[in-house]
Each structure stands twice: as C-alpha cells, then as structure tokens.
Structure 1
C-alpha cells in the first residue's frame, strides 16, 4: 500500500455497485444528436462543448485479459486489470481552483459497452438462444472518485472493477462520459461530453486463461484512499496474495461462494 499518497480533501464517495440494467437508464439519457463517431485510434477523447468546457477523458489503466464466464451468473470473473479512466477539464481562463471545484461535481457518469476488435460493431448482443442476456455483465456505470494517483497528483477517476465478458474473443471497451445536468436545465437532455475506445483485450476460455495480473501502483493508491477497487498480488505465475489483499483469481462474488461452502 502506498502510504506516501496524501489524503484527498473532500473526496467524492463512490456509489454502490449497480447491475447491468443500469446501462439502459444511462443510454436513455444520451442525446444521440450530440454523439460523434469514434475511431479505433487510442488517446484522450475531447469534444467541443456548448458551455465552453472541454472534457478530456483518458484511460489510465487499460483492460488486458479476462476469463469467459459463460451464460450463468456463478463463478464469474472480472476483466483484468480493471479499467481506470481519468477526467480532465481543459479550458483556458479557468483557474486551478475552479477546475478542481468542477471536477468534484457529482453529475458525471461514465458508461461502458463492449465492441468488436476493430471498434466498428457493438458486441453487447448475444446469439438468438440467449437474447435476454448481454455479453458484457456487471456494473457498467461508474461515478467519479476524486483522489491522488501513484505520483501524488490529484485527479477525477472512474473505475470499473466489476465487469465480466461471457464469451471468448478479442474485444474493445467503449466509454462514454455523460453530464447529468438536468437539475440546472430541466428541459435540456444530457449530452455525450467525451467518448473513446480501449485497447484490445482478450477473453480466454477457463482452461486457457493465463491468470490474473498484479495490481498496479495506481489501483493500490486509489484503494488506499477509499476507492472501491480490489487489489491483488496476482497469480500469473502462481503467486500468493499479500495480507489484506483481495482474491487474486478475479472472482466477482467470493462471499456467495463462501456461503455455499459453509452450508455443505
């Protein structure tokens, strides 16, 4: 744990986990007219905004691998490492204090969806026999967490520690930033302020999965400050977890599994 990271003043509290149905609510808020096509090119996403604010969304931690979890809800494994995004506001004329205040607004929401390797086709849908299920499952919506990164620099982060992919293959994740500002403008629709694609990650079958990776310094720094993100030593080479670390196998529901074992 990085004890040198300073405690953030007035950090935003992360919201509780939400299931995949939350994504439908967020999608209903999006203004399709405001969205622009996204290319597979990596890098920060920025769009000109009607309020003269430029929202810059970047991926600080890219997804790399996952173990497919099939069509059931048991034995689910999460995408590793968990994606971590950072929001910046790049607007000339705003002081550092003004930008810091705007980054602490609770109205930011980032939604995650799964796309093809080339970034051209959304892959959320499943074959006809499983039309009621989605390929990407878990908490697909993230709220902001204001804290310090591994270098001691303050930032506004969005973490996705509880998303899983049902089927093997190579995919990308698409992230969309929405500002829920209807309390200020009741008649206005929320707009897509930034969007971007992740790097390609691979989902393996259970027998081919190479194991979980060790948590990054960024993830450990955010967890130390109260962010709800698991940390692990990793089991890519059969390593054991350190004391106080979470499960290294990436299981999404360890409590449920322990409860089943206790009833045997």
Structure 2
C-alpha cells in the first residue's frame, strides 16, 4: 500500500507540465506499406517539469515517483484543433485495385477498396519516462518518440498528452495532467522529400547513454538527402546507355546487310564494288596452260 501511495503522491498538491525540447521538422510519408517506413525527423523529445506557485518551472529529476506516468502522441491539423490520425477507407466501384481520390493537405479521407479505417500516424505512440542526462549534464525526466511515421503527405502538428496511469485504481479513466502541441511540420511525398538532417545534440547525448536512437553524421545526412537524386540520375544514365546500344546494334545490322548485298538502298552498288573477291587456291597451285609463257 505504501508503494501505491508514493506513486500517486506527486499528483497531489502539485501541477506538472511537459515541454518540447526537440521539435519535429519534417518527414517522408510512408504510404500504406511498411517496407520503406521513414521516421519523423528529428525525434520529438519532451521533458517533465513541476510548476511552482509563482508560475515558474522546476525540472523533475527523480523517475521513481513517476514510473506510471506516460505521454501519448496523436496527429492533428497544423492550423485547427482537429485530429488527422484516422483515415477512412471505403469501397471503390468499377475498378480493380486501390484508387486514391484527390485529397487536400489537411484532409484525412481517402477512397480505397475497403470498408475499414486505419491510422495515419503509426509506430510507438506512447513513451514511458526516461531518467537521463541532458547535453548540459543535468539530470531530467524525458519522453522520447523515436518511432513515429505518417502515411499521408500534408501539414500537421503532434499533440502530446501527459497521463498518470496510477489513477486507474480510483477511476475508470486516465488522468490527463497536461497537453502540448508541437510546431507545424510538413510530410513530403517520397520524390519531394529533401532528406534527413544531421542528428541533433539531444539525440547524440541520449544515444551515448544507451538509448536506441539512430545517430547520423554530416556525411550520412548528405548521403540521405542525395540518395533519391542519385538514383534518378542513375536511371537516366542507364536509359541513355540502353538507347545508345540499340542504335549501335541497328547500325551494325545495316552494315551487315549492305556487305551481303541485301540492302535495297543506294549502298548496294558501293558494296558490290568492293575490291574483294573469292580466290580459288587450286588456280594458284596448278596454273592453267594458257597462263604459261
């Protein structure tokens, strides 16, 4: 009983809030498959604070009283307080396969061959509290979302709810302690995605403490930005080489026909007048009598 009281004690008489210490900037939409799922870049990171009586904030440093506190993430429109996480799927008559109708950037309705609904924001939508050192070496409580992807291109915000799961023992609903929104960010179509950024100071700091966050250097970030451009250039070069090879093959075939005298063009006379003829070897070894002096 004492452990339970210690767990819910921080919510009594104090107010807590979360702040985004690392904002999302952009992402590449992943569509409705999971083969090439790209994460929101950079990783959204939030920190827990305790509010003071005069409106100030104090960093929370000890995780043990907050072990049952989580932050839940959801997808919202960039300019209005409307959710964008649900994608409606409906049957399309008179066609085979999926057909997408034109959709505005802030719309969450598509037409697909199904009568179900699916989520536009996928990945790990909930983060537990992590006790970590920030880049300045100060201890704090952080909530980290390193596995978020968006299916549909557009402009969005992320909404984060700080929740106390220990209140389930006394009520049927979770207690939401605070709600914050991220800055607007853009989700690009794959061919327009500008590429990933170099890993931030927060990401590198947390990765060095054992947290599983992908860390990319300057060269890797530049490589990611140019990957699609290089692929497109390679496809163009391959197309040019294929076309050149076809032209060369056609030229060789034409020359072969000309030498055999099978071409009906004006080159036939030129081919027949070539100074080459078949020589009978017997005439050289055994010349006829008419050729003797």
- TM-score relative to the length of structure 1: 0.65
Rate the CA distance shift 1:187–1:67 in 2: closer, same or farther, 3 A.
closer
3-state SS of the aligned residue for 1:220? helix
Instruction: Give the unaligned 5+ runs of structure 1.
Output: 1-48, 93-97, 241-247, 250-264
SS at match of 2:207: helix
CA distance in 2, matches of 1:115, 1:167: 13
Runs of 4+ in 1 over 6 A off after TM superposition: none
In 1, distance between residues paired with 2:60 and 2:11? 17
Q: Deviations over 1:29-80 (max 9, x none)?
A: xxxxxxxxxxxxxxxxxxxx97221112000100001001011122111100
RMSD of aligned Cα (Å): 2.9
- Which of 71, 87, 107 aligns to 2:32? It is 71
Match of 2:209 in 1: 225
Q: CA deviation digits over 1:131-166, x for unaligned, max 9?
A: 432110000000011111111111101110101000
Could you tell me which residue of structure 1 aligns to residue 49 of structure 2?
Answer: 88
| Alpha-carbon distance in 2 for matches of 1:223, 1:62 | 17
Partners of 1:238 and 1:144 in 2: CA distance? 33
**Greater relative contact order, per chain length (Cα 8 Å cut-off, separation 6+):** 1
Question: Which structure shows the bigger proportion of residues in helix conformation?
Answer: 2
**Structure 2 length as normaliser, TM-score?**
0.59
5+ unaligned residues in a row in structure 2: which ranges? 1-9, 54-58, 91-111, 229-293
> Structure 1 residues 226, 128: closer, same or farther in 2, change over 3 A?
same
User: Are residues 1:209 and 2:226 paired?
Assistant: no
Whether 1:127 and 2:127 are equivalent positions in the alignment is no
Q: Does 1:238 align with 2:223?
A: yes
Shift of 1:188: 6.3
Q: Of residues 121, 130, 139 in structure 2, which corresponds to 1:154?
A: 139
- The alignment of Structure 1 onto Structure 2 pairs a total of residues equal to 190
Query: How far is the alpha carbon of 1:233 from its aligned partner?
Result: 1.7
C-alpha separation between the residues in 2 aligned to 1:138 and 1:102? 24
Change (3 A) 1:195 1:143: same
